Structure 1
Amino acid sequence: MLNIVLFGPPGAGKGTQSQNLIKRYGLVHLSTGDLLRSQISQGTELGLTAKKLMDAGELVPDAVVIGMIETQLASNRTAGGFIFDGFPRTIPQAVALDELMQRYDTGISCMIALEVTEDELVKRLLERGKTSGRPDDQNEELIRRRVVEYNTKTAQVASYYAEQDKFHAVNGIGAIDGIFQQLCHLIDSHQPATVVDGGQAADEVKA
């Protein structure tokens, strides 16, 4: 099973590359924000717990988020793997995720961070803000603050995966196809078998 942690600051092109990777490798997209909204809308026990905390202005504990991720792992056992979007953000979350994956006889294959200069990110997001309607895409000060927050949080997690020889940084500036090919090359280097479009493998792959 192929499991990728994909990081990138706002405007790095992570959304576009995520969709390309999902299509090529047959992965399930796991965004903690999407999971929270889904669980809350479904009225699950985890969702109700999360909503109660959020309504009180409190952070959702890691245990609740990990529980939501486990639900997805259990219900997508035939998937080619998972792509984790923006999670884990801290070392304790990374450790908890590793422990969870081990219970399912799998693990994180690699963490890839798309790197883009701050000035380029500001340029991209201000341009996106013309159509996105998002206030945080229209204020340069807010954009730069988001980039600093991302870099601060990612540095620790990057070190955690680097110690496992699983961290890779990819230049996020350039042609979309060119960046995608770099990502595929890195991902394939973490697999013993060749994976082709649609998640079909020449041999069974187990991370």
Structure 2
Amino acid sequence: MKKKVALICLVCLALAIPIAGYAEQGFEKKEGMPASPTTAQPPITTMPKATVTPTAAAPIVTTPVATAIANPTVEPPARATPFPGTVTVNEADPEAARYQGTWDTPYGLLTLTASGKHVHGEYAYANGTMEMALSADGKSMVGKWYEEPTRLPPRDSGKIAFTLSDDGNILHGKWWYGENEYGDIWDGARVNDASAS
């Protein structure tokens, strides 16, 4: 620490001393420069050179994330908990599984994924998502939809409910702004995939 302070003082001292006798050294006086000092300047004393002795480097601590960044072939560790808005995958309830798949709707393709008695949905309009649960009677899915920019009610979130046709290929739904405000129909047809019952 003392060596750093001494080095800083030396630099400050060198910058603060006026240039003595610049004319005598072959430099011309420029406009705005102070005149050459008329009195002799004391000799500049130099401090002895500081020697720096390298110390042992601190140990490098590696974490799985740091390893993954440094070596892109290594996969980063899995999150302990899912991201908000995602559903932990487990075996879907048979009634909830009937909703699973891709649906052609007025708001673009809607992809529904079932897990237990819950269904998570994603659609392109306003980067929308929905979280629903199987109703107590098992005949419908009810939940909430969320859209950008705020994903908050009443304008960017609200209630939603869906039922399925008997053959499982037509989705009948209704959405509302907020809890009970105006809404509209949200129907869809199943896009050919293996999820149809």
TM-score w.r.t. length of structure 2: 0.23
State the structure with more CA Rg.
2
* Richer in helix (by share): 1
In the superposition, the TM-score normalised over structure 1's length comes to 0.22
Question: More relative contact order in 1 or in 2 (CA 8 Å, sep 6+)?
Answer: 1
